Structure 1
Amino acid sequence: MKSVVGYGSLLCERSARETVPGLTHFRIVEVPGYIRIFNKVGVVFFSRHKADPSTRQIASCSTRKAEHATIICSQFECSDEEYLALYEREHRFNWVEVETRHSIEGGARGLMCTTSTDLEYRQHKCQSEQDYHTRVGQYYDGLLWRDDIYPFPRYLAFCLQAAEGLGPDVLNNFLDTSFLADGACSIRRYLDRTPELKEWRTMDTGYHYPR
């Protein structure tokens, strides 16, 4: 069995069960020492959802170490087989073991996706240029890890809806410990300055996402 930590759409238990049908013991935990950051190009936004690269609204969510931050996440257990399928789907991330804290159960450990680099990904996770083309290049030809992109709107709305579904504390944590790819502007500030996202609560996201 593996213990998995979700920080974006996997905050929604229904979405998590669609991604990992056999999961058990879904719970909410704190993960100290990390922030969320929208700094990875979501290839799925090109392959399935007709993202427009010219808008730069093409980012999915990752995590990054940050000494004094704590993010609220989900945690659940799954079989080794389901974890391998999840690992394959989240192939462009690094996976790390992190400390988790539960209000009743205390401390534990879990596996969580985190930031990588283009060089690391190509050298250590893609077996060949053809493998990279199959996974990425046929859909998108730029850098995967960038500091100048913005969240894909429907994906961000889905993550916010998932966080709000767990209560105001989880939503506020998401808004204040999640950042644009520049690492400086919080998602709360980004929403304040982006009128088309003001109605994220009622936005029809239309589909589910991993992470």
Structure 2
Amino acid sequence: MISVVGFGSLLSEVSARETVPGLKNYRLVRVPGYRRVFDKVGIVFISRHGECADSLELAACSTEAATDCEIIAAQFECSENDFLQLYEREHRYRWVEVETRHCQSGEITQARMCTGYSDLDYRLNKCVTDEEYQRRVGQYYQGPLWRKDILPNPRYLGFCLQAAHSQGKAVLDNFLDSSFTADGRSLRDYLQQRPELVPEAPVEYSYR
């Protein structure tokens, strides 16, 4: 079994089980030394959800190293086959091994987590040919994938907020204070400026 950390929509156990039906031992953990950043263009927003490729509201959630920060995330185990499917879904991320601490027991374990990449590294290491890049990205979107000028996709952001809220106030507060827009604003500050983005009703969202 492979241990995986989910930090965005997978904070919803329902979403996690829809994404990885065979997962085991779903629990909340702390991941020290990382923060969330909405700085990756979500191709799925364009390819499956009808967003305009020229929009600035295309950002999905990633992570980056930050010594003074800690995220609360979900951790679970899955089979190699389920992980390969998850790896495919999250193809534009870089996977790293991180240390986690169980929120209840304090048990320390290791897990795999998606983190930030660069366009050059993605092209060189994940898309070996131009044809593969065109199939995965180019047919939908022509610009850089990792940007400092994009904003969270509103529908996806709403889903992530609900996922965090489903785990309680402490998890939601952590999500607001350990998540940042691509230009460096905390998510809490961003939402104070954009209160209309806070969902009042359940948001339906799916990567499938």
Same fold (TM over 0.5): yes
Specify the alignment match of 1:95 in structure 2.
Answer: 95
Query: Residue type matched to 1:45 in 2?
Result: F
| Secondary structure at 1:100 match in 2 | strand
Counterpart residue identity of residue 115, structure 2: T
1:180-203 per-residue CA deviation (whole Å, 9 max, x = no partner) reads 011x201111111014214x142x
| 1:94 partner letter | R
Mapping 1:120-199, distance limit 5 Å = 120-182=121-183, 184-198=184-198
> Which residue in the other structure is 1:23 paired with?
23
- Superimposed CA distance per residue, residues 128-173 of structure 1 (whole angstroms, 9 cap, x where no aligned partner): 0000000000011100000000000010000000000000000000
- Distance of 2:27 and 2:92 partners within structure 1: 26
* 2: CA distance, partners of 1:73 / 1:167: 12
CA distance in 1, matches of 2:99, 2:65: 12
Match of 2:203 in 1: 205
Contact 1:155 1:209 in 2 (8 A): no
Residues 53 and 140, structure 2, Cα contact 8 Å, conserved in 1:
no
Amino acid paired to 1:164: H
Q: Percent identity among equivalent residues?
A: 56
1:50 alignment counterpart: 50
Please report how far the alpha carbon of residue 50 of structure 1 lies from its aligned counterpart in structure 2 after TM superposition. Answer: 1.2
Aligned-CA RMSD value: 1.2
The separation in 2 between residues aligned to 1:209 and 1:139, in whole angstroms, is 16
The separation in 2 between residues aligned to 1:146 and 1:168, in whole angstroms, is 30
2: CA distance between counterparts of 1:51 and 1:91?
Answer: 20
Query: Which residue identity is paired with 2:51?
Result: A
Which region of structure 1 is more displaced relative to structure 2, 54-63 or 65-74? Answer: 54-63
Counterpart-to-counterpart distance in 1, 2:200 and 2:83: 31
SS in 2 for 1:15: helix
Give the TM-score of the pair, scaled to structure 1.
Answer: 0.95
In the alignment, does 2:76 pair up with 1:76?
yes
Amino acid across the alignment from 2:119: D
How much does 1:105 deviate? 5.0
For the Cα contact (< 8 Å) 1:2–1:80, is it kept in 2? yes
Q: TM-score, normalised by structure 2?
A: 0.96
Q: Distance in 2 between matches of 1:81 and 1:126?
A: 21
Aligned to 1:13: 13
**Runs of 4+ in structure 1 over 4 Å off:** none
Flag structure 2 segments of 5+ consecutive residues without an equivalent. Answer: none
